[in-house]
Amino acid sequence: MSLLPMTRSLAHPSTDPPTLIARVRAALGWHGSDFLVGLQGYDELMATVDVAHDVEGLVRVGDPTSPPLRLLRALNAVDPDLRLSRVVSVPCPWRWTRLGGGTGDAQAVALRQQAYSDVVGVMGRAGVAFRVMPDDATTEELYAAGQEAGSAVVDVDELRPDDVLIVGFLEQQPPLSYGLLARAGAGDQEVTAAWLSMTPERESPGTLMVALERINALGIDLDFLHSDPHGPGLHDFHVGFRSDAQRLDELQAALAEVGFSSRVLAAFAQDR
């Protein structure tokens, strides 16, 4: 009896509205179940993808050439078969809209927690009070709070025809980058960039330099290098660089020759 192939589901943090997640999914060209798994937090998402073989994960990666250490640590802690296999960027989605047909003063703005984190730096100069709502607030709840405040920051696909945009603040925000966390071999794509975690069998002065010499000998220029202590005198070293799949295999073999174990945290196509 032949086994039916598993239908994949996509998990994502519930910090972003469904409208934004739908656009990221389209940008990835992701195909699978229409059932999306919205999880309460980053840790819960990583734990779910770690044990559920029919679930892939969607995470924010910040700058792909300088990802946050928290993400690198999390990737290093899950099943070694899991890695970021694709990275895409989408335009920043947030728009500031005056409610009530443009009447009244926008003395305050209602927005979700994640949107607040994304825009507080640029909107701080607007001199408005912030009314921060939970990330799982519905569009209707956000607009109700915005009606009282005078304005709201919403996803571009949540805009209503009679709302009036307040321009000059959010239009030039940098794009948001997302990575697809999947098991190796699941719809592999072209590889032009990689993140690697490497750990020496024994540490002593100059240990890292030995690994860097092997990296340099292969003509690889690093985008980033993080030294991540995990015990007295012990470190994981996370590096990122431009590489194809063959060069990545060559590097792992070269590191093994000088006593470094390594694992791939991400292998994806990166815009040049």
Q: For residue range 111-163, what is the model confidence (pLDDT) as tens digits?
A: 999 999 999 999 888 888 999 999 989 999 999 999 888 999 999 999 998 88
For the chain, the structural domain boundaries read 9-91+175-183, 94-165, 193-268
CATH of the domain spanning 9-91+175-183, picked from 3.10.129.10, 3.40.630.30, 3.40.190.10, 3.40.50.10890: 3.40.190.10
Tens digits of residue pLDDT in 217-240: 999 999 999 988 877 767 899 999
Give one word for 66, left, alpha or beta, with left for phi > 0 and alpha for psi -120 to 50: beta
CATH code reported for the domain at 94-165: 3.40.190
Beta strands 9-13 and 36-39, pairing class: parallel
| DSSP annotation string for the chain | -PPPPPPPEEEEETTS-HHHHHHHHHHHT--S-S-EEEESSHHHHHHHHHH-TTEEEEEE-SBTTB--HHHHHHHHHS-TTEEEEEEEEE---EEEEE-STT-S---EEEEEHHHHHHHHHHHGGG-PEEEEE-TT--HHHHHHHHHHHSEEEEEGGG--TT-EE--SSSTTPPPEEEEEEEETTSS----SEEEEEEEESS--TTHHHHHHHHHHHTTPPEEEEEEEEEETTEEEEEEEEE--HHHHHHHHHHHHHTTEEEEEEEEE----
Which architecture, in CATH terms, is 193-268?
2-Layer Sandwich (3.30)
- Tell me how far apart the alpha carbons of residues 99 and 159 are, in angstroms, rounded to a whole number: 10
What's residue 113's pLDDT? 94
Tell me the pLDDT of the chain (272 aa) as tens digits: 444 446 889 999 888 888 899 999 999 989 888 888 888 778 898 999 999 989 999 999 999 999 999 999 999 999 999 999 999 999 999 999 998 654 456 789 999 999 999 999 998 888 889 999 999 899 999 999 998 889 999 999 999 988 889 998 998 899 999 999 999 875 556 889 999 999 998 877 778 899 999 999 999 999 999 988 877 767 899 999 998 889 999 999 999 999 999 999 999 986 54
CA atoms of 48 and 42, how far apart (whole Å): 10
pLDDT value of residue 79: 92
- Token pair of 42 as six digits: 């980053």
Write phi, then psi, for 118 (nearest 5 degrees).
Answer: -75, -30
* CATH topology agreement for domains 9-91+175-183 and 94-165: yes
